Structure 1
Amino acid sequence: MTSKLVWVAALFTLVSCTKQAVDNSPLNYVNPLIGTAPAATISAINHGHGTENNAQVIPSVTVPLGMTNWTPQTRATETKCVAPYYYNDSTINGFRGTHWLSGSCVQDYGSMSIMPLSGKLKCGTLERASAFTHNEEESTPYNYRVTLSDYNIQVEMTATRRCGMFRFKYVNEGEAHIVVNPNSDEGEGFTQILPRQNEIIGYNPVHRIYQGWGEKAGFSGYFVARFSHGFTNYGTYQDEDVFEHVTRISDLKNLGGFASFYVNKNEVIEVCIGTSFTSIEQARKNLDAEIGAKTFNEIKSDLKNTWESILNKVQVEGENEDDKTKFYTALYHAFLQPRTFNDVDGSYVSFSGGDKILNSGDRNYYVDFSMWDTYRASHPLFNLLMPNENTDMMYSLIDKAKQGGWLPIFPCWSSYTSAMIGDHAITTLADACIKNVIELNDEAYSYLLKNAFETPEDFAEYKNGKGRRALESYKKYGFVPLEDEVKESFHQQEQVSRTLEYAFDDFALSQVALKRGDNTNHELLTQRAFNYKNVYSAADSCVRGRYIDGRFTDEFNKLTRMPYITEGTPWQYTWYVPHDINGLMELMGGQEGFNNNLDNFHAAKQYWHGNEPGHQIPFLYNFSGEPWKTQKLVTEIMKQEYDSSVGGLSGNDDAGQMSAWYVFAAMGFYPVCPSVPEYVISGPHFDKITINQDNGNTLKIYAPGASSGKNYIQAYSINDKNVANNFLSHSDIVNGGILKFQMSDTPNKNWGREKNARPFSLSK
């Protein structure tokens, strides 16, 4: 009897420990639905933009950085600023293989949808839609499940890097159908039924709709859908016109194909879908290579293990469970873009409308860089946690330059674009180079210099997105004057913001020149890095539009949007001098003037966390002797602008930048100035953080009490050596070791105040 009780107790302990281990898995804290509902955060209320103030993310089932993401589809369009899924929608009309730029306001492209039905065949996306409830919806990075109530069908999906796999369980016996269609808003596309192979194939031509011109991008999204069940009927359709046993249809609006079956009660039909940007045959090869004979559960398990491995690169411990949900969901969102473009054998269509099929060899080739956003924190996060993948991303940028002749500014849809401002591919490459993640050879370096100093002679190439906008004005005057309205750009005017961003990009390139021993360009670019001063109005303590003759414009209100500022106000952009905060401080009359201006800025509720240009602002008090204010601000932003509800993101996530900000803030440091291998310290928000790095080194961060409200730094040490500086070097992280923070719920106004404690700045 006693031994039996011991055995039962041991079994109970084993089960409890196993359950605890499972519950502590970072995957259990990821909620892909966060950000799919309207936000009610401060930024969303004061400055909100985008459809219904959603963060424009979707519940993607995907491999990190995958080619095609899989999502429930509540809106069947590739229209700009309309994501495939919104939490507040009440019906699902398909399940999409999507190339949506996560958290963005660009348009989807090359996508396709699949929808199961029972009873009467209904092909149009509105007609076939089914009600669903969130009570019967489960979303994880590796699996999505939902019940389509109108049809009593249980849907489950999982994925590989280039393929999706679906299980459709038909609860009711009888007539069943599966509809497949390309999501073309252009009245284009192709679908073919291959009944002997149990396949439906097709493609959706890609258009660069976001730029407003709608040109063809020169490639398509191809798919091969393979069914586990033979067809009892099949055909194609256009709108609600059904063409039974007609196997091909193309270049019409709302076209697609269907397969019909007779199913028994609770019968399951599985569909595997291979995708490619190269050809239907390559989509089939991807399908055979990545899924082949594997079962649904095997694919799901593989994807689960992949996410488990990548999320475990950062292990956090603390009292607040909601914070873990926010952290690991942010990490998930940060790892969705850029996108794998090559097939399993390395094949991909050359950049910018090229008709060549190239090969990436033993590395992946990436597209869809939301560069205006992601250079700030996303790519620095990759340099820390995914340096091998970021290496491939950086060489993908260089490959685009080799294929198109210019380093791209904002490469989406495998195309040049002038979608945003700045030249931040330079900064992103510089950051990876300075942190020794990549090596830039002479050819690669020449493309960076070309962007900084040359403008395409062919106007058509310039209009198409090659080269910096308004570079000639910038070089001639040291700023972009208001007379140059930058008409050949999706974002026109915005002259002050361009000046500020080019000055920073010039600084980043100067660091590469310095590392390479190119003293001539280092000195020239360093001087250009001070161009931000040319649009600063001392009378206003703020940046302001300026004419060629030096006059500042009368069109000025520092609190409201101005046409010479990008997506913000002059006061918000004033702080965009990440490379020379000390120089900006001097313009404002020194440390006291800088702090007063920054205090007034926050008191006026000007800080807008929902958009990227200000993401460095909360950390700037570290430069001006008041780092406790940074610690307070970062804590408030993490609490007010992020939460664990479905409306928990305050603005467009923009390919993971909003989420990467949170990851850095939670770890306690932030890359204010990419291309400088240092981080500004703001203090950890977990009691213990373990960063497991690809080089085999581990960094452990201890901050007892941080998760329960002790968010002010009293002291900190690196490998038991006390440090007064309020910055952390990149080498301190990658070399591994132990950081210890002494935290409190009250500020220590003496820590980090020394002048030599300030992080890097161009002006000494």
Structure 2
Amino acid sequence: MRRAEESSPFRKPFSMAAAPLRFRGMPRRSRFVVYALVFISFLYLIPRMHLGMGGTLLFFLISPEAAGPYGGGHKVDILRYVDPLIGTTNGGHVFPGASLPYGMAKAVADTNSHAENAAGFVSDNSEILGFSHMHDSGTGGQPSMGNFPLFVHAGCPEDDHKQCVYSLMDRPIARVNGSAFAAPGYFSLNLTNHVRAEMTVTEHTALYRFSFPGNDTLTLKSDDPLRKKDVDITYSPIILVDLVDLMNSRSTGGIQVYNQSGRIVGEGQYQPSFGAGRYNAFFCADFKGAAIRKTGTFISNNATEGVNFLDGVGNGFYIPSGSAGAWIQFEKPVENNHEIMARVGVSFISVEQACDNAEREIADYNFERVERHCCRHRIIRGRISCGIIPPSHTSTRKSLPKTADAGRLTCRRFYCIWDSFRAQHPLLTIIDPPAQTDMIRALIDIYRHEGKLPDCRMSFSKGYTQGGSNADIVLADAFVKNLTDNIDWDTAYKAVLSDAEEEPQMWGVEGRGNLESWHKLGYIPWDDIDTNGTGPMSRSISRGVEYAYDDFAISLLASGLGHDADAKKYHQRGSNWRNYWNPQQADLYREDPDGPVLKTKFKGFMQPRKLDGSFRYENTRACSPVHNMHICYYDTHLSSYEGSPWLYSFFVPQDMDSLITLMGGPDAFVERLNYFHTSGISYMGNEQGFLPVFQFHYAGRPAISSYWARSYIPSLFNSSVNGIPGNDDCAMGAFSAFAMMGFFPVAGQDVYLLTPPFFREVKIKAKSGGNKWAVIRVKNFDPEGRRIYIQSATLNGRRYTRNWITHEFFIKGGILEFVVGEEEGKEWGRGEEGRPPSWYGDEDFGDWDGNKGVEGVDAEEEERQAGRRGR
């Protein structure tokens, strides 16, 4: 058999047996190498996520010597440092298989890892279900996609196809431990049934190479205590295609195998993993490398020869395993190292489109050519077309979903903007503005056809809204950063006004709910009665602070488009977060479940309010790692979503001066934010935890932001398979990339918070064109990692005292240079004039009364009566 290191030109195979690195015990210089590996891998992973549109992936430079053809110096094969397996366990749910940036085809081995296989493959020892061609990456909840998996037998006992297993419940096979290997555009794995699988992709087509030992008789070793002895099989491969998906959600489907050509085509209707409705998917599979012996179909483990067509599968009859499909048995593939090639085109439009994609993109079945094309030309330098259909084939859109214009590409999924607006979209605005511009246009198209912007969307289905209408922030972020290429900003403005003013009938999947109270009272009452629409009547704190920030973002868009009255109105609504602030609320907890109620010194938190204006107590630590972590997902009854009132009390990026004042001033704010990170309340596995790492900037203490960034990287973000602390959701890698480059976005504003990069120099191609670069350089860089605090800075040779910078730096280019030290700097970024902007002042408080409704709230008594337990 071909070894992994011979099959891919990039690097040696990854060994599952390798122990995770213990970073704090490593020498500092070795840790720096790890930083570099993490950084490069995350930069590769970011555009491979599930946002959908194409663009140019820019080449990042750690130093001028590494520039190669992109800036001088000798060539460096940057791809050999990429490990797509980072984050494939420990809840990261990262897709590690073969894919192109923004491509539809994403091929990998699917494992039966319960609650972990959302992206298909998991770096554990679970068995393999098959090899499928479409996946999402980093999602939480149920597994996503994984439609039409292939499964391969090297042969069957007694050369009888009926004695092979077909059902999803019975066919899973063990992998050869340590054989999983992933590189850009390539994935391979060895199975214990004598099958080796390799895969690569184009935009809409997966190409598999299955290899076999070639012996006439093979033995399947028994590691199952229920199987009494080993089993001999006769070498004559069977490849089956199953109509299941990873979630086993198919409602109906059909499949056909052509016994002369061996082509298998099919379709199915499936359920999105985090949304409402159904979507249709189609495939077209062809094979090369061996003569066909037999063909047939199967339902569960009942395989029938000669019956080559199934229709209405799942439509009214029960299949225990969900498995139904078609199979082909081949003669021995004696040529080409005992290999069979499988080419699978996919489409969301039709079987004909799937076949056209496959024939056009991989006509020659040349695995090495496709892999080279994928890894070199496409990833480093190429424009990537949309994950749906290339522009030259728009005429075939007979069954095109209404969300896609006949003459324009559109994204098929934003999964989910509640996660991605905080870091992913701002990063693409810098490194891939054409792709981000396409996504902005896609959001506007979705509004045109659906009547609302999505907050989450996958596979043409409406996803569940988790917080605010955060596409408003994505649009505002693009506007203030001057993305203009064919963007209809007038329609975009209508879209955000619709979110702010018009409550949809089903605000659980789009728009906002409780708008009547939001407009009248300035908050979402805990006991609100909303008869205008339906959705989860919970999460009033987290939705409220997000609605406030959404409205602030709309005010920026309104101001820039000349709608002055609207700008004032939405700016005022942006201060509604104050209506959740209970200045009397203490931080209560128990060290022991049966112990006394304790309290810290911190006072004042976001709390739910009732219609009468009074506050209702909610444990300030609920839904954090120290108290009932898993009780506030989508169906929660609590007032915060996937995070505690402690966390959401910091989410005021538009009005940090006011928040700092309410928390007792800069010193008290810093003390509280430090406690948040040291007490275990903070959770970096969710995107809301990102910005609080850097919010020390607003109190004039950017050095502490640098400290925490270097604490979380690499303790939680590192180059091991469990090197992501939670569902990637397309933003964990963005957080690491930003932190390691030395700046972090305040999404929706033209603000980046500055910290020292993890490297001597970072260069990003400026968007103004020419040979201009945005360069961030550490003048006295310390590879040992001791000097991590900025002492002074210059921008283009002139003294620079702000601890933040605007997007103009990445448009025009320039040189931002830091001098760093081992102790916190005494001046840089600490003065009031050097802090990031806060868009509100004390005069904007109006008649707000932070003490209204506080009377009668005895939090300790409520804690006692509720019988709450835990810390």
TM-score if structure 2 supplies the norm length?
A: 0.75
Match of 2:755 among 682, 685, 689: 682
Match of 1:429 among 454, 460, 475: 475
The answer as to whether partners of 2:751 and 2:804 remain within 8 angstroms in 1 is yes
Write the deviation string for residues 670-724 of structure 1: whole angstroms up to 9, x where unpaired.
Answer: 012x222120112211112121345533222211425430211111211111201
Name the structure 2 match of 1:278: 349
1:255-274 equivalences in 2 (<5 Å): 255-265=324-334, 266-274=337-345
Determine the C-alpha separation between the residues in 1 that align with 2:117 and 2:181.
25
Match of 1:197 among 241, 255, 261: 261
Determine the C-alpha separation between the residues in 2 that align with 1:366 and 1:92.
28
Cα drift, residue 463 of structure 1 = 5.3
1:49-198 equivalences in 2 (<5 Å): 54-75=91-112, 82-109=118-145, 111-120=147-156, 121-150=164-193, 152-173=194-215, 174-184=235-245, 185=248, 186=250, 188-198=252-262
Partner SS state of residue 152, structure 2? strand
Match of 2:85 among 14, 24, 33: 33
Partner SS state of residue 303, structure 2? strand
Name the structure 2 match of 1:548: 611
Determine the C-alpha separation between the residues in 2 that align with 1:96 and 1:489.
36
1:389-468 equivalences in 2 (<5 Å): 389-438=435-484, 439-456=487-504, 459=505, 462=506, 465-468=509-512
Name the structure 2 match of 1:668: 742
Determine the C-alpha separation between the residues in 1 that align with 2:563 and 2:116.
43
Name the structure 2 match of 1:207: 271
The answer as to whether partners of 1:346 and 1:359 remain within 8 angstroms in 2 is no
Instruction: Go from structure 1 to structure 2 and tell me whether the alpha carbon gap of 1:466 and 1:628 turns closer, same or farther (over 3 Å shift).
Output: closer
Name the structure 2 match of 1:474: 518
The answer as to whether partners of 1:342 and 1:365 remain within 8 angstroms in 2 is no
Cα drift, residue 207 of structure 1 = 1.5
Name the structure 2 match of 1:708: 784
Name the structure 2 match of 1:342: 389
Determine the C-alpha separation between the residues in 2 that align with 1:450 and 1:526.
16
Bigger Cα displacement from structure 2, 730-739 vs 488-497:
488-497
Instruction: Go from structure 1 to structure 2 and tell me whether the alpha carbon gap of 1:635 and 1:750 turns closer, same or farther (over 3 Å shift).
Output: same
Cα drift, residue 187 of structure 1 = 5.3
Bigger Cα displacement from structure 2, 371-380 vs 473-482:
473-482
Determine the C-alpha separation between the residues in 1 that align with 2:357 and 2:838.
48
Instruction: Go from structure 1 to structure 2 and tell me whether the alpha carbon gap of 1:309 and 1:391 turns closer, same or farther (over 3 Å shift).
Output: same
Instruction: Go from structure 1 to structure 2 and tell me whether the alpha carbon gap of 1:378 and 1:718 turns closer, same or farther (over 3 Å shift).
Output: same
Partner SS state of residue 609, structure 2? coil
Determine the C-alpha separation between the residues in 2 that align with 1:390 and 1:360.
21
Instruction: Go from structure 1 to structure 2 and tell me whether the alpha carbon gap of 1:63 and 1:483 turns closer, same or farther (over 3 Å shift).
Output: same
The answer as to whether partners of 1:385 and 1:694 remain within 8 angstroms in 2 is no
The answer as to whether partners of 1:346 and 1:360 remain within 8 angstroms in 2 is no
Identity of aligned residues (%): 28
Bigger Cα displacement from structure 2, 96-105 vs 728-737:
96-105
Match of 1:746 among 797, 808, 823: 823
AA aligned to 1:539 is Q
Write the deviation string for residues 351-374 of structure 1: whole angstroms up to 9, x where unpaired.
Answer: 9x9855954536453423310000
Cα drift, residue 203 of structure 1 = 1.4
1:484-499 equivalences in 2 (<5 Å): 484=528, 492-499=537-544
Cα drift, residue 589 of structure 1 = 2.8
Match of 1:538 among 570, 578, 583: 583
Determine the C-alpha separation between the residues in 1 that align with 2:403 and 2:837.
44
Bigger Cα displacement from structure 2, 85-94 vs 377-386:
85-94
1:266-665 equivalences in 2 (<5 Å): 266-293=337-364, 295-306=366-377, 308-309=379-380, 340-343=387-390, 345=392, 347=394, 356=402, 358-359=404-405, 361=407, 363-438=409-484, 439-456=487-504, 459=505, 462=506, 465-484=509-528, 492-540=537-585, 541-558=604-621, 560=627, 563-654=638-729, 656-665=730-739
Name the structure 2 match of 1:699: 774
Partner SS state of residue 135, structure 1? coil
Name the structure 2 match of 1:318: none
Structure 2's unaligned 5+ residue stretches are 1-66, 157-163, 216-234, 315-321, 586-603, 633-637, 842-871
Determine the C-alpha separation between the residues in 1 that align with 2:403 and 2:682.
47
The answer as to whether partners of 1:177 and 1:259 remain within 8 angstroms in 2 is yes
Structure 1's unaligned 5+ residue stretches are 1-16, 39-53, 314-334
Instruction: Go from structure 1 to structure 2 and tell me whether the alpha carbon gap of 1:81 and 1:117 turns closer, same or farther (over 3 Å shift).
Output: closer
How many aligned residue pairs are there? 694
Determine the C-alpha separation between the residues in 2 that align with 1:170 and 1:486.
63
Partner SS state of residue 210, structure 2? strand
Write the deviation string for residues 210-246 of structure 1: whole angstroms up to 9, x where unpaired.
Answer: 34xxx642x3111000111442111110111001111
Write the deviation string for residues 82-111 of structure 1: whole angstroms up to 9, x where unpaired.
Answer: 442221133222111123243432541371
Determine the C-alpha separation between the residues in 1 that align with 2:387 and 2:535.
26
AA aligned to 2:266 is G
The answer as to whether partners of 2:94 and 2:728 remain within 8 angstroms in 1 is yes
Match of 1:732 among 791, 795, 809: 809
Cα drift, residue 126 of structure 1 = 4.1
Instruction: Go from structure 1 to structure 2 and tell me whether the alpha carbon gap of 1:354 and 1:539 turns closer, same or farther (over 3 Å shift).
Output: farther
TM-score if structure 1 supplies the norm length?
A: 0.85
AA aligned to 1:234 is T
Instruction: Go from structure 1 to structure 2 and tell me whether the alpha carbon gap of 1:699 and 1:116 turns closer, same or farther (over 3 Å shift).
Output: same
Cα drift, residue 136 of structure 1 = 2.1
Between Structure 1 and Structure 2, the one with more helix by share is 1
AA aligned to 2:388 is F
Determine the C-alpha separation between the residues in 1 that align with 2:183 and 2:208.
15
Cα drift, residue 307 of structure 1 = 5.6
Determine the C-alpha separation between the residues in 1 that align with 2:802 and 2:540.
36
Cα drift, residue 601 of structure 1 = 2.4
Determine the C-alpha separation between the residues in 2 that align with 1:30 and 1:144.
13
RMSD: 2.8
Cα drift, residue 441 of structure 1 = 3.1
AA aligned to 1:374 is S
Determine the C-alpha separation between the residues in 2 that align with 1:171 and 1:22.
42
Bigger Cα displacement from structure 2, 262-271 vs 532-541:
262-271
Write the deviation string for residues 366-408 of structure 1: whole angstroms up to 9, x where unpaired.
Answer: 4233100000010000100110011111111111111111222
The answer as to whether partners of 2:139 and 2:415 remain within 8 angstroms in 1 is no
Name the structure 2 match of 1:4: none
Instruction: Go from structure 1 to structure 2 and tell me whether the alpha carbon gap of 1:58 and 1:357 turns closer, same or farther (over 3 Å shift).
Output: closer
The answer as to whether partners of 1:137 and 1:144 remain within 8 angstroms in 2 is yes
Matched, 1:233 2:294: yes
Determine the C-alpha separation between the residues in 2 that align with 1:662 and 1:357.
33
Bigger Cα displacement from structure 2, 741-750 vs 374-383:
741-750
Instruction: Go from structure 1 to structure 2 and tell me whether the alpha carbon gap of 1:749 and 1:618 turns closer, same or farther (over 3 Å shift).
Output: farther
The answer as to whether partners of 2:469 and 2:510 remain within 8 angstroms in 1 is no
The answer as to whether partners of 1:236 and 1:244 remain within 8 angstroms in 2 is yes
